[in-house]
Chains A and B, each alone.
Chain A
Amino acid sequence: MFGQLVLSGISQGSIYALVALGMTVVYRATGVVNFAHGEFFMMGAFVLYVLVQLAGLPFYAAAPLAVILMFLCGKAVERALVRPIALAPHIIIAMMTVAVSYLLRGVARVFWGREVLPMPQVFDLPPLQLGEVILTAQDLVIVAVTLALMAGFFLVFHRSRFGRIAQAASANPRGAALIGIDVDAISGNMWGIAAALGAVAGILVAPITLLYPDMGGQVLIRAFAAMTLGGFGNLGGAIAGSLTVGVLEQLAGTYVSTAMIDIFAFIVIIVALILRPNGFFGKAEVARV
């Protein structure tokens, strides 16, 4: 029982990690916390649903297409709504992402107002049985994709030229622009990549959960919890935080009360931030007056 719970917690936590990764990418590159990221996740799942169920594409064609479409969607949001106010205080940009989040959710609700859509299974493999613990193919795929993407982004951010340029653009946009870095293009691409990552997460969970317009908010708050544990902008912290939230949530839901699953993330956020306002792995912010 305990082992099974930990494993499904890890699988859930991997999804949170992917969502947190998308938010971290935007945060690292532009300093913006994207409250609309949950909706990128939701849209990814719904675009896949439309492509597979309504357009009749096979999954292996539909999934990459959905990721590409969401990449473009992310870029469009950045270009049309975020870039015009890029110089405004961060609180204004955060408000904009809140507005975008509601907008995307509203659009989804126009089409799927009160429906809850099931998505057919993709990986029709028999589950692995290890002793008492059962592992489904979907769980394995989720964890593997998350690990691969995490490793990739870690390398990009810390080892590649592009990663260093992106960091420079975020740390000092004006200085970066002065030495010839196209800050706007980097910001646009980072939003695109984040939306694509959100879509990947949405596509991965679509077959194991139901699709509904509010699904993004549920995941977003857990990714937030993970990021507050790990410290905003910290990739390793986001993974550790996500897995912690995923596993603890399963344990609390089983051993304490099922109702705990709904609010566990909120409690984590509140307790973590009151104890450690900069996250458990975060560094204290130094402000220059």
Chain B
Amino acid sequence: MSDAILAAGGGRRGGAARLLAPAAAALALLALPWFTNDYVQYIVNLILAYGLVAVGFNIVLGYLGQLAFANTAFFGVGAYAFGILMERYGLPFWAALLPAALAGGLTGLLIGLPALRLKGYYLAVVTLSLGELLRWGYIHGDTLTHGSSGLAIPPSTLEFLPLPEDAQRYYVLLIVGGLVLWATVNLLRSRVGRAWVAIRENEFAAASLGFSPALYKVAAFGWSGFVVGMGGALFALLIGRVAPESFDLHQLLLQFAIVMVGGLGSVVGSLLGALLLTAAPEVLRNFPGAEEIVFSLLLIGVLLFMPHGLSGMLRRVFPRLRERLYRSRP
């Protein structure tokens, strides 16, 4: 999925290389399930889901430049909407994905409205509170969410595909995630994405150019909610269970670290961050405190020494990887 961006960001290259490199990458991605076992495939799937979540979080944090921690709210709403639609209303998983992402998007719009009046710390505190309030809702919303024990996602295999479950899910993630990512990259390269960056750099100047900060901010929250909500639904599909503890402050730390390590305002960075960090909690979970210490030290290192994250470093070494905010030349 990142090949499209890499290729498009690469500028003018030889015609053959321009076609061959993405084709090879696409082939490698498609063939991947033949080279993995179940566990590795599960981790790869998680990486894809978190890549999507990180891109969505980055829209508000990196492109719009607002310190909003609403991503755990979007993530949780997406996952719970997906779980409830499947478990309670018997929808097949492929039909529940889009409504779940839309629920995330709606949450984004709703959170975006009060966010218009708030800036900086106030926004951070309110969005943090909303996330925790929702988590309280999951715990106490017994009939819908089954409280702290969480709800189990019904088995969801595609009968017609003669593939192991994890490989099936991999292709689902590849298609769904790829589509959402493609839409996001295009959105970022359109007038909308440029308006978000303009608001980040100087809200007053952006307004003076005719961009309504209110409209574009709400749009950013809404789209971020949609993308992260979709990530949450896919996460629920992979985990097979939706429980309140999946949406606590550890989740926030993981997603925050992925975005920051990858680089604020960079789609490639978010995908890289997900690639590097998604598997870390699997290893660190057995040692109390290790998850927090490792991620916080990573965050501190990024903030002190490489404010643009990995993508910033990559851009310095390979200037071709610069992600433009305008469309490629025809």
Which partner residue on chain B sits nearest A282 by CB separation?
Answer: B122
Q: A95-B303, A106-B290, A273-B114 are in contact. Are A266 and B133 (CB under 8 A)?
A: yes
Give the Cβ gap from A277 to chain B, nearest Cβ, in Å. 5
Give Cα distance in the complex from A114 to B287, angstroms. Answer: 11
Q: Which of B133, B136, B140 contacts A270 (CB 8 A)?
A: B133
CB–CB A263/B136 < 8 A = yes
Of A94, A107, A108, A266, most buried by chain B (CB within 10 Å of CB) is A266
CB–CB A92/B289 < 8 A = no
A–B complex contacts, Cβ < 8 Å, 11 sampled: A92-B303, A94-B120, A99-B296, A99-B303, A106-B292, A109-B289, A110-B289, A221-B128, A259-B140, A266-B133, A289-B204
CB–CB B292/A113 < 8 A = no
B288 within 8 A of A: yes
Interface residue ranges, A against B (CB under 8 Å): 33, 35, 81, 84-85, 88, 90-92, 94-96, 98-103, 105-110, 113-114, 213, 217, 221, 224, 228, 232, 259, 262-263, 265-267, 269-270, 273-274, 277, 287, 289
CB–CB A273/B133 < 8 A = no
Q: A99-B299, A108-B289 are in contact. Are A91 and B120 (CB under 8 A)?
A: yes
Give Cα distance in the complex from A274 to B128, angstroms. Answer: 14
Q: A99-B303, A266-B133 are in contact. Are A109 and B292 (CB under 8 A)?
A: yes
Q: Which of A106, A213, A221, A274 contacts B291 (CB 8 A)?
A: A106
CB–CB B65/A91 < 8 A = yes
Q: Identify which of residues 108-139 in chain B touch chain A, using a CB-to-CB cut-off of 8 Å.
A: 114, 117-118, 120-122, 124-126, 128-130, 132-133, 136
B281 within 8 A of A: no
Q: Which of A101, A102, A110, A259 contacts B288 (CB 8 A)?
A: A110
Which partner residue on chain A sits nearest B303 by CB separation?
Answer: A96
B260 within 8 A of A: yes
B300 within 8 A of A: yes
> Knowing that A95-B67, A99-B303, A289-B204 are A-B contacts, what are 4 other residue pairs whose CB atoms are under 8 Å apart, sorted by A's residue number?
A95-B299, A95-B303, A96-B299, A263-B133
Give Cα distance in the complex from A263 to B293, angstroms. Answer: 27
Contacts of B63 in A (CB 8 A): none
Contacts of A273 in B (CB 8 A): 114, 117-118, 122, 125-126
B20 within 8 A of A: no
Secondary structure of the A contact surface, majority rule: helix
Give the Cβ gap from B290 to chain A, nearest Cβ, in Å. 7
Give the Cβ gap from B200 to chain A, nearest Cβ, in Å. 10
CB–CB B303/A107 < 8 A = no
Contacts of B117 in A (CB 8 A): 273-274, 277
Contacts of B130 in A (CB 8 A): 266, 270
CB–CB B121/A232 < 8 A = yes
Q: A102-B292, A113-B289 are in contact. Are A95 and B120 (CB under 8 A)?
A: no
Which partner residue on chain B sits nearest A257 by CB separation?
Answer: B140
Q: Which of A103, A232, A262, A263 contacts B300 (CB 8 A)?
A: A103
Which partner residue on chain B sits nearest A262 by CB separation?
Answer: B136
Which partner residue on chain B sits nearest A259 by CB separation?
Answer: B140
Q: Type the 1/0 row for B286-321, where 1 means its CB is closer than 8 Å to any CB of A.
A: 011111110111011001100100000000000000
